[in-house]
Structure 1
Amino acid sequence: MLGVHDYAVRAEWTGNRGTGTSGYRDYDRSVTLTVAGKPELLASSDKPFRGDASRWNPEDLLVSALAECHLLSYLHACVQAGVVVVSYADEATGVMREDGRGGGAFTEVVLHPRVVVADASMVDAATAAHAQANSWCFIANSVNFPVRHEPTIAVG
């Protein structure tokens, strides 16, 4: 059965220093992101855009969403392929280029999953499962830039 899934996030600007957006340097980029029943996430713009480097920014969240979506899709693909994953860690990277007009876009995200499987006989199927995971990942299917994978598979 195919379904439609709705998601709701509240984004509240908390950076009014008393004069609102009276000038570009007169307000803080602080934002609180809330989803009902979940802990608040403190966010901001990236440091080069006058943000708070100690908070999550939209670019961090996008790369994180791609990494987590692939991880979860990958684990499912491995179960279906009979691959026992004993650990998985990813050091995902993304490149965003400014366009000189105040905007920009991501040009790519590269996932670097380090996967450990239970047995050497599972390595080929574990490698192949990344392609299946990519085809299932809702987030990767929703972006207009390449999401590449450079996996490492080891036996534990």
Structure 2
Amino acid sequence: MATYRATADWSLKDGEDFAAGRYSRGHSVVFDSGFEAPGTASPHVVGNKWSVPGAVDPEQMLVGAINTCHMLSFLHIAREAGLLVARYRDEAVGVMEKRADGEMWVSRVTLHPKITYEGRQPTPAERDAMHHKAHHICFIANSVKTEIVVEEVAA
């Protein structure tokens, strides 16, 4: 078993009106590695006035977690299959929409991996099988209800 920690730290700034919703959503997120990331609410949710440019929002972090977990799982599987991956680049896209009950959620994340191999190239069937297995062993994919789709891009 492993334990992971993230500390979110936000405070009201002078002149902001919390009761009226007029306050910055900017905050910091410090991970147990010591890395600190500037965080914010999505401008899609609170508008540009209350979000912070250059900071990452929770929805982006979720898409990034799904994206990198799949990548790391795929790299492990490709190595075990005797393949040499020279580059893996994925421009993942997450979609947030309303559920039937009116609440918002990240309903779908589509991965678009573009993978470059040195030496032997996997067959399309091998690639599909590796993506399927990567999805199956990815800790984050196993932890969310979000639909995750892989649409590999030709290298």
Normalising TM by the smaller chain, what interval?
A: 0.7 to 0.9
Indicate the larger mover: 80-89 or 126-135: 126-135
Which runs of no fewer than 5 residues in structure 1 stay unpaired?
A: none
Q: 1:153 to 1:117 in 2, by over 3 A?
A: farther
Count matched residues: 150
Which runs of no fewer than 5 residues in structure 2 stay unpaired?
A: none
Matches of 1:98 and 1:17, distance apart in 2:
34
Indicate the larger mover: 95-104 or 145-154: 95-104
Equivalent residue number for residue 45 of structure 1: 41
Counterpart residue identity of residue 13, structure 2: N
Q: Where does 1:6-155 land on structure 2 (aligned, <5 Å)?
A: 6-18=3-15, 21-25=18-22, 27-48=23-44, 49=46, 50-98=50-98, 103-124=103-124, 125-154=126-155
Indicate the larger mover: 110-119 or 46-55: 46-55
* Greater than 4 Å deviation, 4+ residue runs: 99-102
Contact 1:83 1:126 in 2 (8 A): no
Identity of aligned residues (%): 31
How well do the aligned residues superpose, as a CA RMSD in angstroms?
2.1
Q: TM-score of the superposition, structure 2-length normalised?
A: 0.86
Counterpart residue identity of residue 34, structure 2: K
Contact 2:12 2:18 in 1 (8 A): no
SS at match of 2:122: helix
